[in-house]
Structure 1
Amino acid sequence: MNASILTEVILPLALALIMFGMGLGLTTNDFTRLFKSPLAIVMGLIGQLVAMPLLALGLCYLLNLPTPIAIGLMILAACPGGTMSNVVSQLAKANLALSVSLTAASTAISIITTPFIIGFAMSQFAPADDATFSILTTSLGLFFITLVPVAIGIWLRHFKSDFAIKAEPFFRRFSLFFMLMMIAALVIKERDLLVSSFNDVFWACIALNIGSMVVGWLIAKCSKLNLTDSLTLSIEVGIQNASLAILIAISFLNKPEYAVTGGVYGLAMFIGPLLLIGGLKLKNKRTARAVN
């Protein structure tokens, strides 16, 4: 298959379908909630759009990451939350409504913030490639691949709710399948870089995942949010849209090596939530035993 067809048509179309599926799960209440619970939303957005990129930048310098891994980590940190954060929030019995609202808000804002963060990363770690990077082109690409499909999905959810409710689980499963297929393809194509830099990329992804979850938790606690909302912010800040990060690297930047970080993170991002959920369950059991 022609590489340009894969990178310019198939991958963007697949992500657009995923974002369409996200839109099918959104209702008008998810947007009115932005005004009903502004503190939790604002704090979550600060964690996602400000704290996480700063954490990623610090890790790049602290771990002295190779250029492809460093830029990949920054791309990942610049991406909004995805459907996986909503799934994990549901499994963790967090505030699913807040999680969905945060995902919707961060996705909308990311068409502006993501290109600027990526542009900064390129200027810092790959100035030779920075001249070929266009903030405007990336913003327009994100708009048509993310916001437009989401808007169509929301429209269908409003006017064809029965269809939307039945179809939404299919797109959620497709999202996971697509991410796993992309990871498998990256392992094959970029195996030399993955082997030579595995320790760097693996520990960077683990540090970003766990570190950003801790940051999300601390932001929530400093804002005096309750336990459920704190858990939600921790998950939402800690889990990014790995599929979007992979697509940006391959289709927008034409740099598959930058996608390796997103691929590894797509698997490693569940470690932090599992540790957090396990720790909370252990704490609840100890509390229950102390009461009894």
Structure 2
Amino acid sequence: MSDSILTQVILPLVLALIMFGMGLSLTKQDFLELGKEPKPVAIGLFGQLLILPLLAYGIAIFFNLSEHLAVGIMILAACPGGTSSNILSQLARANLALSVSLTAVTTLICVVTTPLIIRFAIEEFNDTPVESFSLLSTTLGLIFITLIPVLVGILIRHNFANFAIRSEVFFRRLSTGFLIFMIAAITYQERTTFLTSFALLSEAVISLNLLAIGSGLLLGLIFKLVKRDTVTLGIEVGVQNSAMAMLISITFLDRPDYAIAAGIYGLAMYLGAGLLIFGARRFPTKSIAKSV
């Protein structure tokens, strides 16, 4: 099997299936939540679409990351969390409805915001023009592998609910397996670069993850949200779709070295999320409620 078939056909197809599975998990009620609780949704979007890219940019500058690592960490910040954030919100006993709603909205918006952030990152950190990057083709690619599969999944969930519910477990496992495969493949293919930059990049991505989670929590406290909404924002801002970031780097940009940052973050993000889940379950609701 040639690399071109793998990167241009199979990997995008698998991600499209994962996004289709995400659509199967969404219901009409998830979108009605947007109208019922617009405040936490708006705050979450602000954290994901503005604060997180700014944090990633600051981290790239502070750690003086090389071009491929800096662009890679910006690509990661441009990819909103997928089903992983929903599962983690459930484990944390956070607001699962808010988590799902944010996932749905950011998935729709990212077809516009992600290419713009990537173009900014490449122009900012790359001294030489990158002819392989096209704003239009990247946007169209995201529409076909994210937006359309999600919309099809939503349509099937609406009309064939029993099938959709039975299929959710399979797609969750596919998502986890795909992320593990992508991380392993990138680690092997870029092993030389990975080994030379692992220490510095590990510090950078762990810092980004903790700052992102902290920013989500801080937004919740500043705007006086209840505990479960505050915890949800911490998870949603801190957990990114690493698989999508790696796919964009490999397939759309033909730069596997950009995917290294997303690969390491795909592991590191569970460290911060795990600490948040432990804290959320360890301390009662009233401890946060008093502070807000």
Amino acid at match of 1:13: L
Q: CA deviation at 1:285?
A: 11
Corresponding residue number in structure 1 for 2:290 = none
Amino acid at match of 1:190: E
CA deviation map 1:58-116 (0-9, x unaligned): 00000001111111100000011111001100111111110000000001000000000
Structure 1 residues 275 and 255: CA distance shift in structure 2, 3 A: same
After TM superposition, list the pairs within 5 Å mapping 1:1-292 onto structure 2.
1-284=1-284
Q: Secondary structure at the match of 2:5?
A: helix
What stretches of structure 1 of length at least 5 have no aligned partner?
Answer: 288-292
CA contact (8 A) 2:242 2:265 kept: yes
Stretch of structure 1 that moved more, 157-166 or 127-136: 127-136
Quick one: distance in 1 between partners of 2:25 and 2:215?
A: 27
Corresponding residue number in structure 2 for 1:290 = none
Amino acid at match of 1:137: S
Quick one: distance in 1 between partners of 2:128 and 2:37?
A: 44
Q: CA deviation at 1:201?
A: 1.5
Quick one: distance in 2 between partners of 1:41 and 1:128?
A: 39
Quick one: distance in 1 between partners of 2:23 and 2:151?
A: 6
Quick one: distance in 2 between partners of 1:263 and 1:132?
A: 22
Amino acid at match of 2:242: A
Stretch of structure 1 that moved more, 27-36 or 227-236: 27-36
Q: CA deviation at 1:172?
A: 0.6
CA deviation map 1:16-40 (0-9, x unaligned): 0000000000001111211111111
Q: CA deviation at 1:277?
A: 2.1
Structure 1 residues 49 and 285: CA distance shift in structure 2, 3 A: closer
CA contact (8 A) 2:92 2:280 kept: no
Q: CA deviation at 1:224?
A: 1.1
Quick one: distance in 2 between partners of 1:120 and 1:33?
A: 33
Q: Secondary structure at the match of 2:128?
A: helix
Q: Secondary structure at the match of 2:26?
A: coil
Quick one: distance in 2 between partners of 1:33 and 1:281?
A: 24
Quick one: distance in 1 between partners of 2:84 and 2:127?
A: 33
Stretch of structure 1 that moved more, 145-154 or 126-135: 126-135
Moved over 6 A (4+): none
Quick one: distance in 1 between partners of 2:276 and 2:156?
A: 36
Q: Secondary structure at the match of 2:240?
A: coil
Amino acid at match of 1:222: I
Q: Secondary structure at the match of 2:283?
A: helix
Q: Secondary structure at the match of 1:130?
A: coil
* TM-score, scaled relative to structure 2: 0.96
What stretches of structure 2 of length at least 5 have no aligned partner?
Answer: 288-292
CA contact (8 A) 2:93 2:281 kept: no
Q: Secondary structure at the match of 1:270?
A: helix
Quick one: distance in 1 between partners of 2:220 and 2:242?
A: 24
Q: CA deviation at 1:127?
A: 3.8
* TM-score, scaled relative to structure 1: 0.96
Structure 1 residues 37 and 284: CA distance shift in structure 2, 3 A: closer
Q: CA deviation at 1:131?
A: 4.0
CA contact (8 A) 2:212 2:234 kept: yes
CA deviation map 1:219-248 (0-9, x unaligned): 111111100000001100100000000000
Indicate the percent of aligned positions where both proteins have the same amino acid: 52
Amino acid at match of 1:134: S
Q: Secondary structure at the match of 2:224?
A: coil
RMSD after superposition: 1.4
